Amino acid sequence: MATKRTAPVRKVAIIGGNRIPFARSNGPYSKASNQDMFTAALDGLVSRFSLQDEVIGEVAAGAVLKHARDFNLARESVLGSRLNPATPASDVQMACGTGLQAIVNVANKIALGQIDSAIAGGVDTTSDAPLAVNDDLRQILVQLNAAKTLPERLKLAAKLRPGHIVPEIPRNSEPRTGLSMGEHAALTAKVWEITREAQDELAATSHQRLGAAYDKGFFDDLVTPYLKLARDQNLRPDSSVEKLAKLKPAFGGPEGTMTAGNSTPLSDGASTVLLATEQWAKARKLPVLAYLTFSQTAAVDYVHGDEGLLMAPAYAVPQMLTRAGLTLQDFDFYEIHEAFASQVLATLKAWEDPAFAKEKLGLDEPLGSIDRAKLNVNGSSLAAGHPFAATGGRIVATLAKLLNEKGSGRGLISICAAGGQGVTAILEK
Ligand X SMILES: CC(=O)SCCNC(=O)CCNC(=O)[C@H](O)C(C)(C)COP(=O)(O)OP(=O)(O)OC[C@H]1O[C@@H](n2cnc3c(N)ncnc32)[C@H](O)[C@@H]1OP(=O)(O)O
Q: Footprint of ligand X on this chain (CB under 6 A)?
A: 96, 172, 181-182, 207, 236, 239, 243-244, 247, 250, 260-261, 263-266, 310, 339, 386, 416-418
CA–CA gap between residue 207 and residue 380 (Å, rounded)? 8
Q: Which is nearer to ligand X, 59 or 213 (CB)?
A: 213
Instruction: Tell me the CA distances in angstroms from 296 to 14, 174, 315, 356, one per residue in order.
Output: 18, 23, 9, 19
Q: Which is nearer to ligand X, 263 or 398 (CB)?
A: 263
Quickly list DSSP for 124-164.
Answer: EESTT---B--HHHHHHHHHHHH--SHHHHHHHHTT--GGG
Q: Cβ of residue 290: shortest distance to ligand X, in angstroms?
A: 24
Q: Which is nearer to ligand X, 291 or 302 (CB)?
A: 302
Under 8 Å CB-to-CB from 246, ≥6 apart: which residues?
Answer: none
Active site annotation includes 96: yes
| Catalytic residue (one of 96, 184, 207, 337) | 96
* Residues 341/382, Cβ–Cβ less than 8 Å: yes
Neighbour tally for 121: CB within 10 Å: 36
Q: Which helix (H) or strand (E) holds 120?
A: strand 117-125
- Expressed in angstroms, the distance from the first to the final Cα of the chain is 23
Q: Nearest CA to 355 among 365, 346, 343?
A: 365
Q: Which is nearer to ligand X, 109 or 184 (CB)?
A: 184
CA angle 209, 124, 264 (to 5 degrees): 40
Q: Cβ of residue 174: shortest distance to ligand X, in angstroms?
A: 10
Q: Cβ of residue 67: shortest distance to ligand X, in angstroms?
A: 20
CA–CA gap between residue 20 and residue 227 (Å, rounded)? 9
CA–CA gap between residue 51 and residue 44 (Å, rounded)? 10
By beta-carbon distance, which residue lies closest to ligand X?
Answer: 339
Q: Cβ of residue 298: shortest distance to ligand X, in angstroms?
A: 14
The number of C-alpha atoms within 13 Å of 175 and in the hemisphere containing its C-beta is: 3
Q: Cβ of residue 358: shortest distance to ligand X, in angstroms?
A: 27
Handedness of CA 276, 279, 282, 287 (dihedral sign): positive
Quickly list DSSP for 254-275.
Answer: TT--EESSSBPPPEEEEEEEEE
Active site annotation includes 67: no
Q: Which helix (H) or strand (E) holds 423?
A: strand 421-428
| Catalytic residue (one of 184, 207, 337, 416) | 416
Q: Which is nearer to ligand X, 196 or 386 (CB)?
A: 386
Q: Cβ of residue 84: shortest distance to ligand X, in angstroms?
A: 34
Instruction: Tell me the CA distances in angstroms from 401 to 30, 46, 207, 406, one per residue in order.
Output: 30, 18, 19, 9
Quickly list DSSP for 45-96.
Answer: HHHHTT-TT---SEEEEE-SS--GGGTTHHHHHHHHSSS-TT--EEE--BTB
Q: Nearest CA to 292 among 392, 365, 219?
A: 392
Q: Which is nearer to ligand X, 288 or 390 (CB)?
A: 390
User: What are the φ/ψ torsions at residue 116 (nearest 5 degrees)?
Assistant: -105, -20
Q: Which is nearer to ligand X, 265 or 409 (CB)?
A: 265
Q: Which is nearer to ligand X, 243 or 323 (CB)?
A: 243
Q: Cβ of residue 418: shortest distance to ligand X, in angstroms?
A: 5
Q: Cβ of residue 293: shortest distance to ligand X, in angstroms?
A: 24
Q: Which helix (H) or strand (E) holds 298?
A: strand 290-299
Query: Which residue numbers are catalytic?
Result: 96, 386, 416
